[in-house]
Amino acid sequence: MTGDLQRTSDQPKNLSVPSGATSPGWRRHLKERLTFLAFIAPNFILFTIFTFWPIFFTAYLSLTDWNMIRLTRKMVGLQNYQQLFATPLFYKVVGITLLFAFTTVVIRMAISLFLAMLLNQKIPGRSLFRGIIFSPHVTTTAAAAMVWVFVFDSNFGLLKWFLDIFNIRSPKWLSDPKWAIWAVIIVAIWKTIGFSTVVYLAGLQSVDKELQEAALVDGANAWHVFRHVTLPLLSPVTFFLMVTGIIGALQTFDIVSVMTGGGPLESTKTYVFYLYETAFQQFRAGYASALAMVFFVVIMAVTLFQTRMARRWVHY
């Protein structure tokens, strides 16, 4: 009995050091983790400063009454949100923004796909046409919008001169509430159509030609090949353009600011322009922050919905 106790007491006690902690594999694993943290630290810090912190600070401001001049902020709870959802102008702005975003994205993607299919053919001057179509994308939006203001001028504009050739009376594009939003939509489509065309063109060039030729051999016509072969293979490109296009359209500000200033009669007042006007012209930072938080939640919900629905029609 005494010998057993002596042997038990002689055994080493390794209670604080985990199993394998001193092995080379454990040290290599720790080194890989530290290397990973070192690489992501700069990006994480930048995201925290310029993305995460502004979101949290905006959420805090949405619960206050502040004019961006006073040093103190008065806490008002959910009062800004209650006022927001009780304001008829809010729903009008939401409707205008949704109309603008949906119309712009749908028409732009349809035209872009058509142009990409044309530019994918072996036609003379193909490179020149590609450059011309892409050029609006690299043009400064504010400068382009100023040019379009002169184009849409109902008295001396280029578009009026063109319509006069066919004896068509030119609408008052920028002064008539019925036409102003469509003028903005036209400029938005013109500005972004080059990027979508180039992305679709890259997608078309990556489509497997053997699948298209096999469909033709099986008796399919050109429309059936496009509908059942080409279009499904382009679904990842379509999904990318749809998500980024909707987010970009919902955030439209510069075109509206330069061309119409939200008018006439608030017919072109998009959500972001309304937010800007509330914050930096009326100095209602708390109410504008509530607008921003609602906008953030809506964009997140729309993106998640698109991602969920993409599982049904996007083929990788």
What count of other Cβ atoms lies within 10 Å of the Cβ of residue 101?
A: 23
Please state the domain extents for the chain: 20-61, 79-313
Give per-residue pLDDT as tens, 186-213.
Answer: 999 999 999 999 999 999 988 888 888 8
Q: Does domain 79-313 have CATH number 1.10.3720.10?
A: yes
Decide: 243 and 109 in contact? Cβ < 8 Å: no
What does the alpha-carbon distance between residue 107 and residue 100 come to, in Å, rounded to a whole number? 11
Model confidence at 96, pLDDT cuts 50, 70, 90, reads very high
> What is the total residue count of the chain?
316
Q: How many CA atoms lie within 13 A of 212 on its CB side?
A: 16
Q: Report pTM.
A: 0.84
125 or 254: which carries more pLDDT confidence? 254
- Reported as a single tens digit per residue, the pLDDT across 263-311 is 888 999 999 999 999 999 999 999 999 999 999 999 999 999 998 998 8
3-state secondary structure 97-142: HHHHHHHHHHHHHHHHHHHHHHHCCCCCCHHHHHHHHHHHHHCCHH
- CA–CA gap between residue 288 and residue 284 (Å, rounded): 6
Q: Residue 104: which of 241, 278, 279 has the closest Cα?
A: 241
Handedness of CA 72, 75, 81, 86 (dihedral sign): negative
